[in-house]
A = this chain, B = another copy of it.
Amino acid sequence: MSAETFVKGKTIELRKKHIGPSCKIFFSHDPIKIVKAKGQYMYDEKGRRYLDCINNVAHVGHCHPDVVKAGAQQMELLNTNSRFLHDNLVLYAQRLQATLPDKLSVCYFVNSGSEANDLALRLAWQYSGHKDVITLENAYHGHVSSLIAISPYKFIQLSDTEQIQSVHVIAAFIAESLQSCGGQVIPPPGYFQQVAQHVRQAGGVFIADEVQVGFGRVGTHFWAFQLQGEDFVPDIVTMGKPIGNGHPMSCVVTTKEVAESFMASGIEYFNTFGGNPVSCAIGMAVLDVLEKEDLQGNALRVGRYLTGLLEEQKEKHPLVGDIRCQGLFAGVELVKDRLKLTPATAEAQEVIYRLKEQCILLSADGPHRNVLKLKPPMCFTKEDADLLVGKLDHILTELEEALGLKFHNALSVENESSKRKPTDENGRQHLGGLAHGGGSSQEDPQIAKRIRS
């Protein structure tokens, strides 16, 4: 294909030489070379089509022509910083504001979810006059240094949550409205209201991180924090990944009070690329497509359909410990034992590799990397869901046979998993053998040889 400059082996060689080794690649033992994409499909250098179930950045579909056109037209006309007046900037801010509670009226445009969350912390520090932050176990909020410090997913598995609760003067509570990297965890309705009450009493602010889950993905609402009820309004909302369908941009929205307090610090906030006319044109095109193609409605309908299919899988397969779905944001937790909730980490990796061989792209996440993560582009269809779940069914059946896993072992604890707390504190990796005799997958040679980093 003309889009390929090097043969794949050469691309791998050059990548090893010139790209930081900390930058991991999918399927590192046999990575995929993608040369084009459209809608929910990606194509490799040989023209093989993959169903993309993981790319929540290509929100309205890869290379959506309306978004591409908006970006290209504005790039031709003007791309400059926000120190000049431009209608795209204020139009887009107005459009975003219309999706949010009235109180959240002030925008800061930045370039990535990490920049957004870092700025959210600066706003909170200034407003509260304090520096301490409460974060959730297994949380991930970004890659800049201030965020690594509040991202146990990256930094450290906090063993003692009491330590955090003992902090009594705080600047902020930060949480994803639905926890993504932490394992697709959905907080119970009303939880954020209670947290916000405590945080505000202590002088802090509530930061809702919508970087992974915003922009209609949850189906019933445009923002995931709205699942908590109409009465819940965060003090700061951060946005990212899907906002520009792949274009590097993001946004922080806050209240007038917080914005004015930040202003009072006397330090100007300038972001070279943030809020440039091209980014704003692209952001507006994404909102237009979401509306025009009713993609939030699609997320609701296809999400419900997919949930139904996955629930059937849970009935059928002992490996499936829990299904956590909200629109087109779905997690399938694989366990080796439904009673002990032993994470089936190696099995999750196996599923992902086998699906890849069937041209379906998926990833595993959560503290034990045993939660299959589904966050496809929002144009995902019922047929795509059928295809995915059909293949998954087949793979799970084969795996369970190889492991000697039978359903009656788990039958008695049906629904047990749904009673767990979202912090998933039982999910420690049990390295010993399992009661039902299959042995841990790490010890199973058939699976072990397929496990890749």
A399 within 8 A of B: no
A54-94 contacts to B (CB < 8 Å):
55, 57-58, 62-63, 65, 67-68, 71-72, 75-87, 89-91, 93-94
Q: Which residues of B contact A78 (CB under 8 A)?
A: 3, 34-37, 42, 62-63
Q: Which residues of B contact A34 (CB under 8 A)?
A: 78, 80, 84-86
User: Given A72-B71, A145-B122, A146-B146, A26 and B83 touching (CB < 8 A)?
Assistant: yes
A78-123 contacts to B (CB < 8 Å):
78-87, 89-91, 93-94, 97, 105-108, 110-115, 118-119, 121-122
Q: Give the CA-CA distance A24 to B81 in the complex, in Å.
A: 11
Check B241–A8 contact: CB distance below 8 A: no
Q: Give the CA-CA distance A91 to B148 in the complex, in Å.
A: 30
Interface stretch (choices A9-17, A226-234, A327-335, A339-347): A9-17
Residue of B nearest to A20 (CB): B108
Residue of B nearest to A154 (CB): B267
A314 within 8 A of B: no
Q: Which residues of B contact A17 (CB under 8 A)?
A: 105
Q: Which of A5, A15, A26, A115 gathers most chain B CB within 10 Å?
A: A115
Q: Give the CA-CA distance A141 to B369 in the complex, in Å.
A: 36
Check B248–A248 contact: CB distance below 8 A: yes
A246 within 8 A of B: yes
Q: What's the nearest-Cβ distance from chain B to residue A60, in Å?
A: 12
Copy tally for this chain in the complex stands at 2
Chain A 243-258 interface mask (CB, 8 Å, partner B; 1/0): 0011111000010000
A33 within 8 A of B: yes
Q: Give the CA-CA distance A105 to B18 in the complex, in Å.
A: 6
Check A246–B80 contact: CB distance below 8 A: yes
Check B108–A111 contact: CB distance below 8 A: no
Check A247–B90 contact: CB distance below 8 A: no
Q: What's the nearest-Cβ distance from chain B to residue A285, in Å?
A: 11
A407 within 8 A of B: no
Check A271–B112 contact: CB distance below 8 A: yes
Residue of B nearest to A12 (CB): B85
A240 within 8 A of B: yes
Check B19–A241 contact: CB distance below 8 A: no
Q: Give the CA-CA distance A19 to B271 in the complex, in Å.
A: 13
Interface stretch (choices A157-165, A272-280, A416-424, A437-445): A272-280
Check A79–B247 contact: CB distance below 8 A: yes
Q: Give the CA-CA distance A65 to B275 in the complex, in Å.
A: 22
A188 within 8 A of B: no
Q: What's the nearest-Cβ distance from chain B to residue A141, in Å?
A: 13
A412 within 8 A of B: no
Q: Which residues of B contact A5 (CB under 8 A)?
A: 87, 91
Q: What's the nearest-Cβ distance from chain B to residue A334, in Å?
A: 21
A21 within 8 A of B: yes
Check B106–A19 contact: CB distance below 8 A: yes
List chain A positions with a Cβ less than 8 A from chain B: 3-6, 8, 11-12, 14-15, 17-26, 31-37, 42, 55, 57-58, 62-63, 65, 67-68, 71-72, 75-87, 89-91, 93-94, 97, 105-108, 110-115, 118-119, 121-122, 143-146, 148, 154-155, 240-241, 245-249, 254, 259-260, 262-263, 265, 267-273, 275-276, 278-279
Q: Can you name 14 extra interface pairs (CB under 8 A) apart from A15-B89, A22-B269, A58-B80?
A: A4-B87, A6-B90, A19-B93, A23-B269, A23-B275, A25-B82, A32-B85, A33-B84, A37-B80, A63-B77, A63-B78, A68-B72, A80-B246, A246-B273
The 9 lowest CB-CB distance pairs between A and B, nearest first, are A72-B72, A18-B93, A14-B90, A248-B273, A79-B246, A33-B85, A22-B269, A248-B248, A5-B87
A sample of 6 inter-chain contacts (CB < 8 A) reads A22-B263, A23-B268, A55-B80, A112-B112, A115-B115, A145-B145
